[in-house]
Amino acid sequence: MSEQIYHSVKIDETKCIGCVVCMKACPTKAIRIKQRKAVVIGERCIDCGECLRICPYNAITPLTTKSSDINKFKMKVALPSPVIYSQFGPGYMPDEILYALKDLGFDYVYDEALVCEMASIAIQEYLERNPSPRPIISSTCPVVVRLIQRLFPDLVSLIIKMEPPREIAAKNLRKELSREYKIPESDIGIFHITPCAAKMVSINKPETMEKSYLDGAISIKEIYNQVMARLKNREKNFLLHTQSQVSGIGIGWAISGGEIRGIKSDFLVSVSGVYDTIKILNDVESGKIKNIDYLECLICPDGCIGGPLTVENRFLAKSTVLSLIRRFGGKNRIDTNYVKQLYDENFFSFERDIKPKPFPPLDSNKNEAIKKLKKKEKILKTLPGINCGVCGSPDCETFAEDLVRNEQGLTVGRCVFLGESNL
């Protein structure tokens, strides 16, 4: 139980004053206030970033890669999420943005959107070759994967056994660049330019492979100003340096519904936002959702453009993505047969299956857990049900649960309505 769990956020104790805002916002009830500081319970956190968005004191910071860290590698490669094309307004084309990004000190930039298109074809292939079970759930959002492992462990087998585009792209790039430039693979540093910190968890502690093909993830926020400055200063004609290879299907992956746009089936559903995702997974678990082939769930509102590390207003970002989709069309840029060949070589497949990692039960002994459950229900009846959070637990029910889990020094007297608050 004391397994070291890596997380993508850090609470700055000098800034945190122990208000209840993040604790109340946390969808998995993973935060407690102890001695006037917010504390994250590792086994419950899914790295959704809700706390990061909402903290009024700026006390929660994402643990992403600093752009100076790229210098550890001889060859520096940027692999931006397609979200990047939505961040600078509709006036700048993907090629210009890629070139401006490269100018920050990368030796190579690669358009992940192309691989997204590839993944759309591969998903289609997967669905055709695996007629059951249903629905198959997307593996793209690392938070959704963690949410399923933790809250819906019985649904783990429904997650598509295919790596998301960022890993597939990095895997391919590392091989190709090493061959083309005749340098060892370990000299190449590949960095995802990310709209969320959760990718750091899937890079540092991958669930489906020994080691991630990515070396880090740099926040879009961190590079935004420098890229914008280069875009505005268009003395250099960026377009002269780039080749147009943009995929309309791939760019769509930046928004909710983008992943299923490239798949041919009438039974596809896309859901975004943490609460709606939890709701639909609940329905899948009850068997309420039938007759659906593929379920795309993205934890951020409207998809990755709603990520906590983006800069542009997400509604404007969405508009930009839609206009890029119109402009570059739904035409396939990738040869379907090539993707099928890669599929047959298991190029997209997980190295190992995702394991369920359920929240710890009330007790590891079943009989003890039942006793604690009854005790919890009894305690809950005595609590006021106001859900104020002043006790340090997010609501009365969770407080009752914390009490029966024997949290150190926790007594029912922590409730301001029942006893004296120690806060």
Partner 1 sequence: MEQEAILYEEFEIAGGDFVNGGSASCRVKNILKEIGLEPDIIRRVAIASYEAEMNVVMYAKKGIMKLILTPHKVIIKVDDEGPGIPDIELAMQPGYSTATPEMREMGFGAGMGLPNIKKNADIFNINSTVNKGTNLEIIINLNNKDE
Of the candidates 113, 123, 362, 410, which one interacts with partner 1 according to CB under 8 A?
A: 362
Q: Nearer Cβ to partner 1, position 369 or 416?
A: 369
Q: How far is the CB of 361 from partner 1 (least distance, A)?
A: 3
Q: Is 331 in the site for partner 1 (CB under 8 A)?
A: no
Of 20-28, 335-343, 367-375, 413-421, the segment contacting partner 1 by CB under 8 A is 367-375
Of the candidates 361, 384, 413, 419, which one interacts with partner 1 according to CB under 8 A?
A: 361
Of 101-109, 111-119, 152-160, 270-278, the segment contacting partner 1 by CB under 8 A is 152-160
Q: How far is the CB of 288 from partner 1 (least distance, A)?
A: 6
Q: Nearer Cβ to partner 1, position 70 or 156?
A: 156
Q: Is 385 in the site for partner 1 (CB under 8 A)?
A: no
Q: What angle do CA 105, 254, 136 make, to 5 degrees?
A: 125
Q: Is 41 in the site for partner 1 (CB under 8 A)?
A: no
Closest CA to 392 of 369, 408, 375: 408
Q: Is 356 in the site for partner 1 (CB under 8 A)?
A: yes
Q: How far is the CB of 400 from partner 1 (least distance, A)?
A: 11
Q: How far is the CB of 293 from partner 1 (least distance, A)?
A: 16
Of the candidates 359, 380, 387, 417, which one interacts with partner 1 according to CB under 8 A?
A: 359
Q: Nearer Cβ to partner 1, position 359 or 417?
A: 359
Please report, as residue ranges, which positions from 245 to 304 form the binding site for partner 1 (by CB under 8 A): 282, 285-288, 290
Instruction: Please give the size of the binding site for partner 1, defined by CB under 8 A.
Output: 25
Closest CA to 222 of 56, 7, 64, 49: 64
CB atoms within 10 A of CB 387: 14
Q: How far is the CB of 368 from partner 1 (least distance, A)?
A: 10
Q: Is 367 in the site for partner 1 (CB under 8 A)?
A: yes
CB atoms within 10 A of CB 150: 18
Of the candidates 360, 384, 413, 419, which one interacts with partner 1 according to CB under 8 A?
A: 360
Of the candidates 329, 358, 413, 419, which one interacts with partner 1 according to CB under 8 A?
A: 358
Q: Nearer Cβ to partner 1, position 364 or 408?
A: 364
Q: How far is the CB of 410 from partner 1 (least distance, A)?
A: 18
Report the interface residues with partner 1, using CB under 8 A: 153-156, 282, 285-288, 290, 356, 358-364, 366-367, 369-370, 373-374, 401
